[in-house]
A and B are shown apart, each in its own frame.
Chain A
Amino acid sequence: MADLFLLLGTGLEWLGYVSAPLFLVPIGVLLATRFFAAPATVLVAILDRVSGIALGGAIALGLMMLFAQAGVVVARYVFGLSFSWLSELVTYGFAGLFLLGAAAALRDDGHVRVDILRERFSPKGRAAIDLIGAYFFIFPICLLIFWAAISPSFVRAWMNFEGSRESDGLPLLFLFRTLIPAFAALLMAQGLSQALKAALILRNERTADSLYAQGGGA
């Protein structure tokens, strides 16, 4: 089993190296628009879809959190019982909700920003800011989280299928810890999608007001 996961990990590592050039596509769109516009549009659709799937997971985990916490309350106040696995389901649901939902919130413009000056910028000005923000803010943050999260202790967690410290806890701590690099990878992918959209807008290959998907935010 452990060998299989090592193989899987190596595969993912190579996938990472192979997909690294994708992060140059936004620049390609700026420099050689005619050549890159069509593949960039396809890539945007795929990446937005990935965030949508992760959002579905986040919502499912959020509902799990609600049901499990209701269960914790009933078990404790009515029957005087407590189960570590139930409380851990709440914690896992909670963490999954915000870590897996972050990318879709970026897609749907759900993250708060200071809009005092933003209102005065042109749509292209906003796109330029998003393009710069993706390269200088999102990518470095996500790379840091990703590299720091894939630590020797993280590898050990997968090798031993690290479980809860409680005897009646869930045997899934290794999955819980995997949420952190997954969050970084998803956010980075959506950052790439936003950078692509911004580059396409700057080159008139996309309508200027379509930087963000509609209707997802607060």
Chain B
Amino acid sequence: MEIEIILAISMFVAAIAALLAGYPVALTLGGVALIFAGLGIALGVFPEPLLRAFPNRIQGAMENQVLIAVPLFVMMGVILERSRVAEDLLHIAGRLLGRLHGGLGYAVVGVGALLAASTGIVGATVITMALIALPTMLREGYDPRLASGTISASGTLGQIIPPSIVLILLADAISNANQSASVSAGLGPSVVSVGDLFAGALVPGLLLVGLYLIYILYHALFRPESCPPVAETGAEPLNIREIAFGLGAPLGLIFTVLGSILGGIASPTEAAAVGAVGALLLAGLRLSGDMPGWIRISLTAGLLSLLAVFLMAGLFDLRVNRSDLSAVDMTAIAVALFLCVMFFASMAIGLLALSRAGQLQPALTSTASITSMVFLILIGASLFSLVFRGFGGEEMVAEILAATPGGAWGALAITMFVMFVLGFFLDFIEIVFVVVPLVAPPLIIMGFDPVWLAILMALNLQTSFLTPPFGFALFYLRGAAPDDLATADIWRGAIPFIGLQVVMIGLVAAVPALATALPALAAQ
């Protein structure tokens, strides 16, 4: 074997061994790669100028317009979480559905699906639900396995249901892979956008929600003692206002953001900004209960002015850059301008309200921390790929995949298996940045649809995070669950949901239209 190949393989093995030491993943990946690059330079088999190109890679990430959506969605999720909007959602859904057999279970699945934006990275959903819903479920006599399985599975829904942050990162990686595949296979150019991936993930994601709900329904019908209704607590019934604000406002926000991306109206970055601003205003309202009235009034006015200004843009022609401005147009533009000023002022007041509630500093620090974490992984992983490529590791992976018995499907199966195992100890983000660039181009050249491939990978990793003993969701649940819930119950509870995941992966593999039909429709 050539020395480059030996170095490439030992680098991969060394990286995995070093990762187990528990040092930050981004730095481990980059550091191990650099040590091997040094070895390669010393042995004369690594092109040293390649390393000089590294800052250009960083600058590429800095100028990437698609990835700007990531910190904005993180901000939206963190603000919603900090302001307890997410908690309210769970409380209200639980109280609305609680009287049914399995009602709390339905609420958990539904809220897990809605909180997609705030998760996908930190397992915040699993922790939130484990802290709020799990104690109630156990107290009301839910089968601990059903309760913990529902919570950990619903927590992973955030990975697959748009606007998931990891889907944005996956879209970036798959789109690059698709480009390099088209170049090396001499195909025409084709683009994979974040919107495509969101549209592709929507149907499988919702079907998965459906499967989870059916599983709970099955329990409610045939084992009603495993998921009893909530006993009357004598608490005041929810009034319409609470429901409209607690349930309607976040729902409206999420549908606006998702709808404008899927409908092709706005780019993910633009929609994410609207989402973050909306979250800021809603959070301000939620937290301003005992603050001076003018704060509430101006936040409400800000939300209304945002709606009004977009409504006006639909009714009038507000474009400024034209010569035929009539008096009506001028007036409309002036009103719109005034509304915009009001809207930006209310954003500032939203920040003030959060700050008065003591949540601004933690929310922004957390946003900066999560964003830095994601992009440091991108930087470390791109150094790793750069060196791996310098050793010719890319061709090696392509050759291995091509030589797999069973042709293209064999190659796909082995890729999925490796990703599943890596999912035990690596996060979705690391796998997206390290593994996808290596395996996706050859698979796309073999004829697999890039969107379909990405959705399969996402479902596969989501399953991996649910699988004992190493699944991430189970770890998060273990950390947040009461001690008297046995770990064995958490593990056993996850197994039926893993079964549902496998069914879903099989469905998408057998019927690619589940993932590809909606993006194709949206493209028209």
User: A: which residues have CB within 8 A of B?
Assistant: 55, 58-59, 62-63, 65-67, 69-74, 76-81, 90-91, 94-95, 97-99, 101-102, 104-106, 108, 110-118, 121, 126, 129-130, 133, 136-138, 140-141, 144-145, 148-149, 151, 176-177, 179-180, 183, 215-218
Contacts of B72 in A (CB 8 A): 65-66, 69
Q: List B90-127 residues whose CB lies under 8 Å from chain A.
A: 121-122, 124
The distance in angstroms between the C-alpha atoms of A69 and B68, with both chains bound, is 10
A94 x B71 contact (CB < 8 A): yes
* Given known A-B contacts A94-B62, A112-B24, A105 and B320 have beta carbons under 8 A apart: no
- 9 closest Cβ pairs, A-B complex: A137-B31, A118-B22, A80-B319, A95-B62, A110-B369, A111-B24, A101-B368, A69-B273, A101-B372
- Given the interface pairs A81-B320, A148-B54, the reply to whether A218 lies near B121 with Cβ below 8 Å is yes
Tell me if A67 and B344 are in contact (CB < 8 A).
yes
Enumerate chain B residues within 8 angstroms of A105, measured Cβ to Cβ.
368-369, 372-373, 376
Residues of B near A141 (CB, < 8 A) are: 27, 30-31, 34, 380, 383
User: Contact: A98 with B270, CB < 8 Å?
Assistant: no
A116 to B310, CA, bound (A): 50
**Cβ-defined partner of A72 (8 Å) among B34, B55, B273, B347:** B273
Q: Does A144 contact B34, Cβ atoms closer than 8 Å? A: yes
The answer to whether the Cβ of B203 comes within 8 Å of any Cβ in the partner chain is no
Q: In the complex, how many residue pairs between chain A and chain B have their CB atoms under 8 Å apart?
A: 227
Given A145-B54, A176-B62: A130 and B376 interface contact (C-beta under 8 Å): no
Whether A78 contacts B368 by the Cβ 8 Å rule is: no
B22 near A121 with CB under 8 A, answer yes
Spell out B's residues near A (CB within 8 Å).
Answer: 19-28, 30-32, 34-35, 51-55, 58-59, 61-63, 65, 67-68, 71-72, 75, 121-122, 124, 266, 269-270, 272-274, 276-277, 280, 309-310, 312-313, 318-321, 333, 336, 340, 343-344, 347, 351, 362, 364-377, 380, 383, 425-427, 429-430, 470, 475
Q: What is the chain A residue whose CB lies nearest that of B340?
A: A74
Query: How far is the CB of A184 from the nearest CB of chain B, in Å?
Result: 9
For A66, the closest partner residue in chain B by CB is: B276
Contact of A62 among B24, B52, B368 (CB under 8 A): B368
Tell me which residues across on chain B come within 8 A of A63, comparing CB atoms.
Answer: 351, 364
Which residues of A lie under 8 Å from residue B20 when comparing CB positions? Answer: 114, 116-117
Structural contact, B75 and A62, CB atoms closer than 8 A: yes
Taking A69-B272, A69-B273 as given, write out 7 further A-B residue pairs in contact, using a Cβ cutoff of 8 Å, ordered by the A residue number.
Answer: A66-B280, A94-B68, A104-B369, A105-B369, A113-B25, A114-B19, A118-B22
B317 to chain A: closest residue by CB: A80
Residue of B340, B383, B430 most packed against chain A (CB within 10 A):
B340
**Contact A79/B310 with A115-B22, A137-B27, A141-B34 known, Cβ cut-off 8 Å:** no
CA distance A114 to B26 in the complex (A): 11
Our pick among B19, B71, B277, B427 for the contact of A70 (Cβ within 8 Å) is B277
* Contact present for A67 and B369 (CB under 8 Å): no
B25 touching A111, Cβ below 8 Å: yes
A80 touches B274 (CB 8 A): no
Known contacts: A73-B266, A129-B22, A133-B27. The answer to whether A116 contacts B470 by CB under 8 A is: yes
Residue of A59, A72, A104, A137 near B270 (CB, 8 A) is A72
Residue contacts A-B, CB under 8 angstroms, 5 given: A66-B273, A94-B62, A94-B68, A141-B30, A180-B62
CA distance A180 to B62 in the complex (A): 9
Distance in angstroms between the alpha carbons of A215 and B369 in the assembled complex: 11
Question: Once the chains are docked, how many angstroms separate the CA of A121 from the CA of B24?
Answer: 15
A129 to B23, CA, bound (A): 7
- A180–B58 contact, CB under 8 A? yes
Report how far A102 CA is from B62 CA in the complex, Å.
14
Q: Tell me whether A148 and B52 are in contact (CB under 8 A).
A: yes
A74 CA to B424 CA in the complex, in Å? 43
Q: Which residue of chain B has the shortest Cβ distance to A92 in the bound complex?
A: B62
Contact B376 A111 (CB under 8 A): yes
A152 to chain B, nearest CB (A): 11
